[in-house]
Structure 1
Amino acid sequence: MKQQHFTSSAVRMRPLAAACLLALLATGCASPSHTISPEAQANAARENPAPPKDEDFPAIESAKWKQGAFPSIEALRAMRTGMGKDQVRELLSYPHFSEGIGGVREWNYIFHFRTGAGPDYITCQYMVRFNQDVLTTGGYWKGRGCADMVKPAVVAPVLVPAPPVAAVPRKVTLGADGLFRFDGGHATDLLPEGRRKIEALATDIRQSGDKASITVIGHTDRLGSDDYNNALSLERANTVRGLLVQQGVAGTAIRAAGAGKQQPVVQCAGTAATPELVSCLQPNRRVEIEVSTSR
């Protein structure tokens, strides 16, 4: 009777075991969440592995979820090195391919992008790679023009007539670390204190009663590639410009530009992205707002 009871219990457990296995396959066997340290993020950014070749991407017909998805452009723009799997899953959902059971270091997606007002779209493949600490080391595209689909729109400089009365420009320098979350430049990355500083500046500009010509320039430190820092500095400048416009400052009077890492205000020794070097380079991560006014 004991043997019969054991066998019945085993039979009843099979559906549960199958469900657990399916859950593991769906999640790519992610390990339990853990705190991500700044040192681990710096290590992931420093690795900078070679990008995959087209033949490294899996064949679309081998996907488990063959329909793919129409992703959030803002979610894709929020992808950075040093993110954990839970954070990637929150932005992009689960990968569309069966990625394996153990030691998963790569997630693959099928994403579609609309090409106009109609139903037409293009299909792209996106790969996220992880290091031994299970943090992202890069996101890569397969497909012509796919990377361009998520690039932020560049705000064209607006030519503003020179003020009739010469005035000494007033420059306000705000530390980027006090404005945005680490490695972020979008409006959703603005910190509450940073938002209050920009809103206070907008109030000051409006209440002055003067005609203002405003230049917003984003700067970064020297860590990371030129392309990455140029894009991040421009994104932060455009975000500050957008908030000034939201607060009632005329958009035609504001020019946004990104200087990347080309104009440092401090020099620090070292090449490895240690916490000490990151802290030393903090003054270089800034947004400069220059306001010229005339009656």
Structure 2
Amino acid sequence: MKHTKKMQVFALALLALGMGGCGNVSRNVANDGHAAGELVWPAPEATTPMHKGGTFPNSADLRQVHAGLNKQQLSALIGYPHFSEGVWGVREWNYLFNFRKADTSEVTVCQYKVLFDENKLARSFYWKPESCAALLEHTSPVAAAPTVPAQQKRVLSADAAFAFDKGSVADISPVGRDELDKLASQLRDGDARIHIAGYTDRLGAIAHNQSLSQQRADAVRDYLASRGVSANRMTSEGRGEAFPVKECPNGSRAQLIACLAPNRRVEITVRE
């Protein structure tokens, strides 16, 4: 009987956690979760007591966050939100993350925001400051594993490398081919591992963006292979609209397309 009462109390505590909080911090989160009328960030010192000072996330898990995850899947990767907006009934989760640079004691504190659509699926992701997005590649949360030096990561503008809304090898522009030819000449020798990740902006259907990002990553891989880089050393991944590096307010379509250009990219990471 006592055991049953304890379980009931525990269940009520979990319910209070899930339903509690003050709701969304940002204003007018869009039904599709791709934007908000105004992004508002909680004060870093306003974390819940158990998350005081933020956490050191697992970078490998954080890289797996992408659009379409439900809240249970997201929490399995990076935990529940660090602030008191609530858990189940809200359309926004906020985190306070610490990143430690490899071989140093220097720590960078970043805020991370996830917006959900009306079905409570993760749809858009934001960093404050925006430069924190790059820390996933250049820092280690616990300095336990080697990180990739900045000079070994190349970012190609998808707009410059491909025709609009195209993603095959045949669609790679002359500018894109020149860039990849230069890169191939540096990567032919040696045994470095090469990971190619494609990204889109938040415009368009999620399934289409995911497919296009994968197609472009595969095209870059295949082009490098045609220039003598061993295919066995390369992997490719489409990340759709995940991990935007630029936040843009809603406006005319032309303005929004121009503003979101940095998010349309292909990242090539070389690991020695």
TM tier, shorter chain? Answer: 0.3 to 0.5
Q: TM-score, normalised by structure 1?
A: 0.45
Instruction: Compute the TM-score of the two structures, normalised by the length of structure 2.
Output: 0.48
Structure with greater Cα Rg: 1
